[in-house]
Amino acid sequence: MELSITTLPQHVTAGHTVWPPGTKHFERRFDVYDVVFVKTGALYMTENGVPYEVKPGEVLVLEPGLLHYGHEASREETEMYWLHFVHSVPARIVDSGDIAWKTVLQAGTSRDVIPPQHVMILPKYASTDFQLFEPLLERLVRQQRMLTLERSLEAHVLMLQLLAQLQYSLCRQLAPQTRAISERAIHYLKQTMREPFRAKEMERELHFDYDYIARCFKKYTGMTPVKYVQHLRIEEAKSLLHRTDLPLAEIGERIGILDVNYLVRLFKEMTGTTPIRYRLAGRGYV
């Protein structure tokens, strides 16, 4: 489930419950996301005609506007945490294999006035390491029981921490081979960014055919290896322009681009401005 986070999700409420055997969830349709973590027992829930058996350590995200109900009573004592949040933009269902987890996002500059478009990825139904979530869930539930204006912002922050942890856990579970190859490629490219890019050397270092590395890398980062190297170099150039008075030729040498004209063209292509204007803007002159 991909949610746009130009506007962040808003916390509504959270809770903890222990159901005795024989308890079944009532039928409901409401306009909130309902995130359910099962600690012990099992929750038998149908949403929009799809049945789920949510077992210990698993999480189910119920969507707003869809009918959900318990299709079977609990067979044993079942302990759960849950939280509700609202979000103004509907979620988009995406295939786990199509998520470019390491997509490089626009960092922004001092001249930007509109927030960039980011997204949050949540699992519909997944296994988790429940021990990672329980401390945050406990804190959120305690806050909810004694909520005051003074502490209300903290409740929103805790919910966002939970959702961020859920996204991170999902990322670590999916596409392990693609991720492993891409992580090694990222490490290699960072180590060699100042050297001329050579696909054959990358093949020898990673022990895979370059075309396969590039496909994995593009799926994981949204970029080709060459584009990623360009990104690393321009980000380093931006840092040097801000922090130093080095001339462009020396900055180019430090980032592995010896042709100053090419550096200026690439910088403008990737940032929308020239290196000199970027330096002046960072110092308040433009």
The predicted-structure confidence for 249-283, as pLDDT tens digits, reads as follows: 999 999 999 999 999 999 999 998 999 999 888 77
Residue 109: is its pLDDT beyond 80?
Answer: no
Domain 2-173 coded CATH 2.60.120.280: yes
* pLDDT > 70: percent of the chain: 95
Task: Assign 3-class secondary structure to the chain.
Answer: CEEECCCCCEEEEEEEEEECCCCCCCCECCCCEEEEEEEECCEEEEECCEEEEECCCEEEEECCCCCEEECCCCCCCEEEEEEEEECCCCCECCCHHHCCCCCCCCCCCCCCCCCCCCEEECCCEEECCHHHHHHHHHHHHHHHHCCCHHHHHHHHHHHHHHHHHHHHHHHHHCCHHHHHHHHHHHHHHHHHCCCCCCHHHHHHHHCCCHHHHHHHHHHHHCCCHHHHHHHHHHHHHHHHHHHCCCCHHHHHHHHCCCCHHHHHHHHHHHHCCCHHHHHHHHCCCC
**Mean pLDDT of all residues in 23-31:** 95
What is the per-residue pLDDT for 221? 85
What is the per-residue pLDDT for 93? 87
Mean of the per-residue pLDDT values of the chain: 90
Could you please state the CATH topology (level 3) that the domain comprising 176-282 is classified under.
Arc Repressor Mutant, subunit A (1.10.10)
What are the residue ranges spanned by the domains of the chain? Answer: 2-173, 176-282
What is the per-residue pLDDT for 226? 95
What confidence category does residue 111 fall into, taking pLDDT thresholds of 50, 70 and 90? low
